[in-house]
């Protein structure tokens, strides 16, 4: 995608000799409840940072293009809150009082367990008791279709 964007920009520069200012905003993937990707693991912080760096390097040097992005550590906290159960509130309070690193060290929660593992189909999710009128089986079927398209196993 970055290569196509760079090619389009260079092509436009050759034709019109100018390019309007473009702001590219990158957001880290955070699994959300009641979506097909609620079972998909969130990448670790180093992988998020590496992907941001790769895209930023790919767009570097294109005149008029600026890149902004989320901070991966805050995306991980968001992921803990999105995927965690009621105990995730203690992590949020710890981050407020102690900062991210200390809160992770002192928290009884294991963020890696909450964030970085795929969830099996039969695992109860913290929000399953809320009825939003969304068919969980339909979401799971869509998720498995996505996995097959990626060549992965459910």
Beta bridge mates, 25: 68
How far apart are alpha carbons 40 and 7 in whole angstroms?
Answer: 32
Core vs surface per residue 31-60: b (16+ CB within 10 A) or e: beeeebebbbbbbebeebbebbeebeeebe
SS3 of 24, please?
Answer: strand
Contact 31, 40 (CB under 8 A): yes
Per-residue pLDDT of the chain (154 residues; tens, 9 = 90+): 777 777 776 666 665 446 677 889 999 999 989 999 999 999 999 999 999 999 999 888 777 788 999 999 999 989 988 888 878 888 888 889 998 889 888 888 888 899 999 999 999 998 888 888 999 999 999 999 999 998 876 5
- Tell me the backbone φ, ψ of residue 25, rounded to 5 degrees: -115, 125
Apex 59 CA angle, 23 and 14, nearest 5: 90
Q: In the numeric block, which tokens belong to residue 44?
A: 């670790």
Place of tokens 């996995």: 147
Nearest in space to 47 (alpha carbons), one of 23, 25, 76: 76
SS3 of 124, please?
Answer: coil
- Is the alpha carbon torsion for 43, 70, 140, 92 positive or negative? positive
Q: pTM of the entire structure? A: 0.78
């Amino acid at each position: 995608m970055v290569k196509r964007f760079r090619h389009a920009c260079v092509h436009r520069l050759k034709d019109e000799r100018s390019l309007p200012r473009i702001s590219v905003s990158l957001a880290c993937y955070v699994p959300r409840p009641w979506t097909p990707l609620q079972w998909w693991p969130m990448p670790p912080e180093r992988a998020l940072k590496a992907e941001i760096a790769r895209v930023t390097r790919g767009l570097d040097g294109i005149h008029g293009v600026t890149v902004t992005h989320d901070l991966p550590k805050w995306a991980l906290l968001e992921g803990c809150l999105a995927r965690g159960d009621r105990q995730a509130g203690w992590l949020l309070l710890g981050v407020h009082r102690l900062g991210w690193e200390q809160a992770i060290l002192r928290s009884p929660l294991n963020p890696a367990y909450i964030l970085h593992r795929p969830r099996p189909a039969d695992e109860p999710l913290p929000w399953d008791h809320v009825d939003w009128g969304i068919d969980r089986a339909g979401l799971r079927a869509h998720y498995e279709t996505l996995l097959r398209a990626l060549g992965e196993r459910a």
